[in-house]
Structure 1
Amino acid sequence: MKAYVFPGQGAQFVGMGKDLYDNNPAAKELFEKANEILGFRITDLMFTGTDEDLRQTKVTQPAIFLHSVILAKSLGSNFKPEMVAGHSLGEFSALVSAGALTFEDGLRLVYKRAMAMQKACEIEPSTMAAILGLEDEKVEQICQSIDEVVVPANYNSPGQLVISGSMKGIEIACEKMKEAGAKRALPLKVGGAFHSPLMEPARKELEEAIIATTVSKPICPIYQNATAQAVLDPEVIKKNLVAQLTAPVRWTQSVKNMVADGATFFTELGPGAVLQGLVKKIEKVEAESIQSL
């Protein structure tokens, strides 16, 4: 069975999507529609902007979403997913590609999500750190032992877990992780504590928009971050999308469940090739990355 996966924040690069725009009239039309919806020319920033331009949350999230979704649409009849999943922001790309959200609604939600997350980051300084070489259970125990906001945020692959929390909480956690034998405890250059209780203001803001948006039954199961389970029910999809901002990304568990349910080949659609690497670390399956056609 063929699974398609969609990357999240951090996969962006200058020039992303330009091949599609230049060589595919239908793709160009969608990019121009996105410029209209957003009210600024995101294509200029994607194709010829600077790394700094692309790092702005209000640009990063819609840019990655657009690259992934337009790439999927450009595959035409060759895009026949039997299951899909997306990492964090990538969940929205997966939902649009699988027909659960329209292109327009997906883009509006992604932009609203980006702006809401940016606001939440400004309320309280916070950050994230990558913990390498410790068992998930050990990382969870250490997070629980700290009297600060610090939680597991991204279960990326066995031995690679990202934690999220207050500046002080992450600082204490990194020291404790090293003491416990972590190979690395590396603070990340991010704007805030994504997928943690500190994103609650953003969750509340996005909840209203998600509730007001029509979600259709997707053409195949989507394995959502919050539960790592296969979902087809539009109401459950909405509930999991709302939960996603403050819940951890259960990527390891999602990939394991997809393989258990029959996935044998994974194709990553969008910028970068991070997810195909993670998939191969989680399960012994084939995986590829497609960035342009």
Structure 2
Amino acid sequence: MGKIAFLLAGQGSQYPGMAKEFFENIKEVHDFFGVAEAIRPGTLSQIICGTEEELKKTENTQPCVFLADIASVMALESEGIKADATAGFSLGEVVGLAVSKVMSKEDAFKLVCSRGKAMQKAAEETEGSMVAVLRMDRGELEQVCEETGVFPVNYNCPGQIVVSGKKEKIENLKNKLSEKKIRFVEIAVGGPFHTPYMSKATEHIKSVLQDQKTFNLNKSEIPLYANMNGRPYPENKADMAETLALQVSNSVRWEETIRNMIADGIDTFIECGPGKTLSGFVKRIAPEARIFNVSDMESLMKVKEALAV
């Protein structure tokens, strides 16, 4: 077997009750959720009992998905399964800071709470939405995006690119796609993420990361692949902060990330957190890879058995 990568789920994968089994069965998860609750009161109720509508609000989604992701990581580690590298999709990249030891889990959680609030505020200033466009030629889609004033932002896998922008412009795009008989799927998020409309959120993250007394960035213990370029994070602290801040207003190069990880010797991918979205992307990008997802005790035991840990 080659190397193992933990893939960390992002916004849009959330569902009520995610991570409940890990909270109830794994002491380390239970204890850390208590720490998170002290940092952000009300989070525990949201992740365990929150409604779909409550979880869709960005300032709630991000802390809750963070906890669901890190709970899966902690569950794997409790069974002796460790990552050789990691990558997170959008907010999942903040979880990756904790997995790679760039930040402590507590600091990464504080950062994702701040990030979520900043992105929620930016989203409220510009009403927007996102759609996944399926099986459309990349060049043609980018041309239509330019014509309609929206942005191709998530290059997920062959045959799927997510587009983001102002709501009225996304509606115009959808009409054009329907005319061309191109399929698209709405994404369960509350704003025009990974576009220039998030520039204020980028500036906010830059400013909070400048306070080294609040957030201390360390050299990663394992490679953390960045959304912006699909390459491992830089080692310089200023460059790390820049990469992290710019991520919210720039595209996610997920397909490129997975291909680079494979080129670097990764052959086993474990999706950590709610849903199986990232697993599906990897299957499209690298069908030869071993792919698992861990979101509850049953899936955890399946991975343990498969890896014979």
Q: Is the TM value for this pair above 0.5?
A: yes
State the TM-score bracket (shorter-chain normalisation). over 0.9
Residues 79/240 of structure 1: CA separation in 2 closer, same or farther (3 Å cut) = farther
Is contact 2:126–2:192 with CA below 8 Å preserved after alignment? no
Give 1:262's aligned residue: 265
- Of 119, 125, 132, the match for 2:134: 132
Corresponding position: 1:105 with 2:119: no
Shift of 1:78: 2.0
Give 1:202's aligned residue: 201
Shift of 1:255: 0.6
Shift of 1:15: 1.6
Q: Secondary structure at the match of 2:278?
A: helix
User: In structure 2, what is the Cα distance between the partners aligned to 1:26 and 1:260?
Assistant: 34
Q: Secondary structure at the match of 1:192?
A: coil
Corresponding position: 1:46 with 2:72: no
Shift of 1:106: 0.5
Is contact 2:57–2:120 with CA below 8 Å preserved after alignment? no
Is contact 1:164–1:193 with CA below 8 Å preserved after alignment? yes
Shift of 1:164: 0.6
User: In structure 1, what is the Cα distance between the partners aligned to 2:17 and 2:130?
Assistant: 27
Give 1:233's aligned residue: 235
The residue identity in structure 1 corresponding to 2:21 is D
Residues 181/257 of structure 1: CA separation in 2 closer, same or farther (3 Å cut) = farther
Shift of 1:263: 1.1
Moved more, 128-137 or 80-89: 128-137
Give 2:62's aligned residue: 61
Q: Secondary structure at the match of 2:228?
A: coil
Is contact 1:135–1:158 with CA below 8 Å preserved after alignment? no
User: In structure 2, what is the Cα distance between the partners aligned to 1:67 and 1:234?
Assistant: 29
The residue identity in structure 2 corresponding to 1:53 is E
The residue identity in structure 2 corresponding to 1:288 is F
The residue identity in structure 1 corresponding to 2:205 is L
1:5-50: CA deviations, max 9, x gaps? 0000111122212212222222211101100001x23112221232
Taking structure 1 as the reference length, what is the TM-score of the superposition? Answer: 0.93
Is contact 1:87–1:225 with CA below 8 Å preserved after alignment? yes
User: In structure 1, what is the Cα distance between the partners aligned to 2:18 and 2:251?
Assistant: 27
Is contact 2:56–2:190 with CA below 8 Å preserved after alignment? no
Give 2:296's aligned residue: 292
The residue identity in structure 1 corresponding to 2:200 is P
Q: Secondary structure at the match of 1:245?
A: helix
Residues 274/188 of structure 1: CA separation in 2 closer, same or farther (3 Å cut) = closer
Shift of 1:181: 5.4
Shift of 1:232: 4.8
CA-based RMSD = 1.7
1:169-201: CA deviations, max 9, x gaps? 21222233344552x134444311000011111
User: In structure 1, what is the Cα distance between the partners aligned to 2:187 and 2:71?
Assistant: 29
Identity %: 33
Unmatched 5+ stretches in structure 1: none
Residues 234/96 of structure 1: CA separation in 2 closer, same or farther (3 Å cut) = farther
Corresponding position: 1:272 with 2:271: no
User: In structure 1, what is the Cα distance between the partners aligned to 2:15 and 2:168?
Assistant: 31
Unmatched 5+ stretches in structure 2: 298-309
User: In structure 2, what is the Cα distance between the partners aligned to 1:231 and 1:78?
Assistant: 25
Residues 185/12 of structure 1: CA separation in 2 closer, same or farther (3 Å cut) = closer
Is contact 1:221–1:232 with CA below 8 Å preserved after alignment? no
User: In structure 2, what is the Cα distance between the partners aligned to 1:20 and 1:188?
Assistant: 27
The residue identity in structure 2 corresponding to 1:246 is S
Q: Secondary structure at the match of 1:264?
A: strand
